[in-house]
Amino acid sequence: MSDLAAWLRSSLEAPPAEAPLAGDLPELTEQPGTAAAVLIAITDRDEPGVILTVRREHLRTHAGQVAFPGGRVDAGEDPLKAALREAQEELALDPAAVTIAGALDDYRTITGYVVTPVVGVIAPDLALEPHDEEVADWFEAPLAHLLDTSNRQLHSAVFAGAERRYWQIEWNERRIWGATAAMLVNLSRRLRWT
């Protein structure tokens, strides 16, 4: 296991510095939801990065948004298997190439998913290939930038007749917001990033 993977594993086993964000809409946190999982793939390099995808514009939900590879947990799967399967489907990332460090607290989305973010370490510069139907593009953003509190902003918008607040992080003209940004906030609370 690499030093990065060992540090991540140790950090994820410790309690968070602050309570994790539970979901997009506080009133939904006690309602049943559909199980889903994402893979937060962190590259093992001197300056680690995080692999993110850009969803295709024609998709029914979250079209064109930046996201982690992921999706529903299928029957007979656990979140780990689902996250690895989805990363393989969306980016041709071989599950055997991922060293699992742990998982974050579940996060509930507006669309009714209860998402388990699985954190894994991958070698840098893998030949990832976006799935033609689901992924328009992918990129690697610096972990330090994504987790630095000075790079995130809290925004608000009206949704379902009420004002809602959401996190947003920008990097290289990419807008990372909503559930993806909230999961990065939760990751920073586990890693005690400043």
Of 191, 6, 28, the C-alpha closest to 117 is: 191
| Region 76-94 average pLDDT | 97
| pLDDT classification of 76: cutoffs 50, 70, 90 | very high
State the chain's mean pLDDT as an integer.
89
DSSP state of 21: P
Q: What's the pLDDT at 157?
A: 78
CA distances for 79 relative to 55, 89, 175, angstroms: 21, 15, 26
| pLDDT classification of 91: cutoffs 50, 70, 90 | very high
For 45, other C-beta atoms within 10 Å of its C-beta total 14
How many residues comprise the chain?
194
Tokens of 165: 């607040």
For 128, other C-beta atoms within 10 Å of its C-beta total 18
Query: Does 80 or 161 have the greater pLDDT score?
Result: 80
Instruction: Kindly report, residue by residue over 99-131, the tens digit of the pLDDT.
Output: 999 999 999 988 889 999 999 999 999 999 998
Q: What's the pLDDT at 192?
A: 64
Q: What's the pLDDT at 133?
A: 78
What residues contact 76, with CB distance under 8 A and at least 6 apart?
A: none
Q: What's the pLDDT at 23?
A: 85
Q: Is 164 exposed, middle or buried (0-12, 13-18, 19+ CB in 10 A)?
A: middle
Q: What's the pLDDT at 193?
A: 54
| pLDDT classification of 186: cutoffs 50, 70, 90 | very high
Instruction: Kindly report, residue by residue over 129-163, the tens digit of the pLDDT.
Output: 998 878 889 999 999 999 999 999 988 877 667 77
DSSP state of 23: B
What residues contact 101, with CB distance under 8 A and at least 6 apart?
A: 5, 8, 9, 12, 42, 119, 120, 121
Q: Which domains does the chain have, with CATH numbers?
A: 3-191 (3.90.79.10)
pTM, entire model: 0.92
Q: What's the pLDDT at 79?
A: 98
Q: What's the pLDDT at 95?
A: 98
β-pair partners for 133: none
